[in-house]
Amino acid sequence: MSANRKGDRRERELVNRLDEAGFAVMRAPASGSATTRELPDVLAGNGEVFYAIEAKSSAGDPIYLTGEEVEALIYFAQNFGAKARIAVRFDREDWYFFHPGDLYVTDGGNYRVKKETALAEGEDFDEFVGRSQKTTLDDLD
């Protein structure tokens, strides 16, 4: 299966999960190739919170986003009145969400998310949609 087809399938999966969680959600058409404007992959809102989401998936290698992709997402989200989020999914794992400012920036100005970083630091799906809250050991003191 081509990487594009797999990415499209993953985006549709994310849209369906957000819909099931009570969000009004839409997938942008071809995320930028259908228009000269850069659009996020997914727009979602539930009446209280609105997200512009760039979705990326990987078999296990780190996920990279260009500085331009992240800048375009932030620009769109600010103008739209949404929160910018990066959604990542590694094979055999769930979706994890990051604020763009929480991502590792490479020397070349690109952004990177490693699988172990997603699992340890990312906001999981249930937390993202408001079904649960992350508790750390520091919270228990």
Which segments are annotated as binding site for Mg(2+)?
Answer: 11, 41, 54
**Residues forming the annotated binding site?**
11, 41, 54
Residues 9, 16 contacting (CB under 8 angstroms): no
Beta-strand ranges (E) seen in 74-141 are 83-90, 95-98, 104-105, 111-113, 123-124
With H, G, I as helix, E, B as strand and everything else as coil, classify residue 36.
Answer: coil
Nearest-angstrom CA–CA distance, 49 and 78: 13
Q: Where on the phi/psi map is residue 117: left (φ > 0), alpha (ψ -120 to 50), or beta? A: alpha
Name the catalytic one among 2, 31, 57, 132.
Answer: 31
Q: Measuring CA to CA, which residue among 9, 85, 122, 134 is closest to residue 114?
A: 122
31 assigned to active site: yes
Annotated catalytic sites, by residue?
31
